[in-house]
Amino acid sequence: MSKRPKEEYEGAKLREKIKDYFEMVEPKNKDFIKVITDKCGGCRICYEQCPGGCFEMENDKAVFKYPNFCFECGACFNICPSDAISWDYPEGGTGLVMRWS
Ligand code: SF4
Ligand code: SF4
């Protein structure tokens, strides 16, 4: 797994692009996705592969930092090799909401 420098991190770029097309509505249950820090091996897969750029790496651990950008795709939960991510939906009508006008 390549370790891309932050300036090449596609998820962060994507956050900028999708702002024009989506409303980012902050859910009350901001921790609907949780990283179980003790289990996180710091592999960066979630950080590099999340399509919404929702994760940051801090002290070699993943942090779910941008819940407003979550597509609810479930990829992070499914790809984490350490089973360190617990996943749920944000409350209805929050997270990324498509703009129709
Ligand atoms: S994929 Fe799992 S083990 Fe790897 S950084 Fe993310 S939470 Fe940690
Ligand atoms: S569910 Fe998808 S969009 Fe949401 S944090 Fe996980 S990988 Fe990112």
Q: Quick one: average pLDDT of 72-99?
A: 84
In a domain, 2, yes or no: no
Q: Which residues contact 79 (CB under 8 A, 6 or more apart)?
A: 45, 46, 49
Q: Is the CB of 50 under 6 A from ligand 1?
A: no
**If you take atom 1 of ligand 1, which residue's CA is the nearest one?**
80
Q: Which of 88, 93, 100 is nearest to 27 (CA)?
A: 93
In a domain, 98, yes or no: no
In a domain, 22, yes or no: yes
Q: What is the pLDDT of residues 1-36, one digit of tens each?
A: 555 555 555 667 777 777 777 777 777 788 889 999
For residue 19, give the DSSP letter: T
Q: What is the pLDDT of residues 36-83, one digit of tens each?
A: 999 999 999 999 888 888 899 999 999 999 888 888 888 999 999 999
In a domain, 66, yes or no: yes
Among 43, 56, 63, residue to substitute to test ligand 1 (most atoms within 8 Å of Cβ): 43
**If you take atom 6 of ligand 2, which residue's CA is the nearest one?**
76
CATH label of the domain that carries residue 67: 3.30.70.20
Number of domains in the chain: 1
What domain range is 27 assigned to? Answer: 9-91
Q: How far is CA 35 from CA 1, 23, 61, 62, 73, in A?
A: 20, 25, 9, 7, 16
pTM: 0.80
In a domain, 65, yes or no: yes
In a domain, 74, yes or no: yes
In a domain, 56, yes or no: yes
